[in-house]
Each structure stands twice: as structure tokens, then as C-alpha cells.
Structure 1
Amino acid sequence: MNKRWTIDDIRNYVEKNSDSTLLTTEYHGFSQKLLFKCACGNNFEKTFKKFKNNHQRKCDVCQPPKASR
């Protein structure tokens, strides 16, 4: 069974696994975009799934998107 993530679980995961900070205060599901603050000071939005599974843990300036195939 899959784990149900809460906003506190996500905040703890972000603190332990990246230099970014979670700014969003409510979590409504895996398709919701969350607002993060990168270590460089830029804000960026990602779904938690992309943040966690695809290692997209920085803004587009610090970690540019990969070119599409």
C-alpha cells in the first residue's frame, strides 16, 4: 500500500534531502504543484512526485530542465 503524504511529511523530506525549502502550507494530492524556495533564493513550482522521484530539487536556473527527446 502506498504511503499517504502529509504536508509535514513532505516538509521533513525536503529538509533532509535537498537545499530547498517548502513554502506551500497545504497538500491536496500528488498532482498539486508545490512552491519551493531554492538555495539560490529563487522560488519554483514542482509536483512532489517530480521533486521526489525525478530528483528535480532545484530551480530551473540551478538545475536547467533536460532537453526533450
Structure 2
Amino acid sequence: MNKRWTIEKIKEFVEKNSDSTLLTTEYHGFSQKLLFKCACGTNFEKTFKKFKENNQRKCDVCQPPKASR
């Protein structure tokens, strides 16, 4: 069964699995970009899917995007 994510569950996941903070207060689905604050203080946006499954848990300054092939 597919797990339904709520904003509370996402916030809990972010707190346990990264140094970033979730700033978004509403969640409308997997394609929505969420606003996070990196440990360095920079705000950044990512979908929860990228944050969770692709390990993109920091801003582009602290974790630069990988070069495309």
C-alpha cells in the first residue's frame, strides 16, 4: 500500500534525516515544490520526492547539482 504523506509526516522526516528545516506549511502532492532552509541559512526549493529519494537534502551551494552526462 502506498504511504500517504502529510505535512506533519514530511516535517518529521526532514527533522530526522537532514540538517535542513521545512518552511512550507501545506502539502498538495508529490509534484509540489516545498520550501526548505538549509543548515547554512539559505532557502531552497525541492519536491519531496527529490528530497527523499535522490538525497537532495541541502541547498545548491552546500550540495551542488551533479553534472549531467
Q: Deviations over 1:30-65 (max 9, x none)?
A: 000000000000000000000000000000000000
Distance 2:48 2:58 in 1: 13
Paired with 2:58 and 2:18, the residues of 1 have a C-alpha distance of 8
User: Counterpart of 1:25?
Assistant: 25
Q: Secondary structure, in 3 states, of the residue corresponding to 2:10?
A: helix
Q: What value does the CA root-mean-square deviation take over the aligned residues?
A: 0.3
- Structure 1 alignment gaps of length 5 or more: none
How many residues align? The count is 69
SS of the equivalent of 2:62 reads coil
CA distance in 2, matches of 1:2, 1:46: 21
Q: Which runs of 5+ in 2 are unaligned?
A: none
Identity of aligned residues (%): 88
